[in-house]
Amino acid sequence: MKKQYITSSEFEEKFEEGEDITTFLDVEKASRPGLEQRRISVDFPAWMVTELDRVSKRLGVTRQSVIKIFISDKLKEEGI
């Protein structure tokens, strides 16, 4: 399909009227700011890794998922 171009005011008008605006979007280049992945390295004591593995097995998720869940929960508690 040939790419269509309109002005921002035309786009806004179509959006506000509930028209289908997907033909004007380039979803291949779409991103969600702040959600891109960044790799970090963290050293944990052996007992902590053992406990993380125990919890991950009980929940049926990976160790990495447990760490992300725990950190996310704590950050939400802190109001971040």
Output the pTM of the full model: 0.58
- Residue 1's pLDDT is 53
Which conformational region is residue 2 in: left (phi greater than 0), alpha (psi within -120 to 50 degrees), or beta? beta
Q: What is the pLDDT of residues 12-43, one digit of tens each?
A: 999 999 999 888 888 888 888 888 888 999 99
Cβ atoms of 66 and 56 closer than 8 Å: yes
19 and 38 fall within a common domain: no
**58 and 26: one domain?**
no
Q: Same structural domain for residues 37 and 24?
A: no
Residue with tokens 């053992």: 50
Give the domain range for residue 13: 1-30
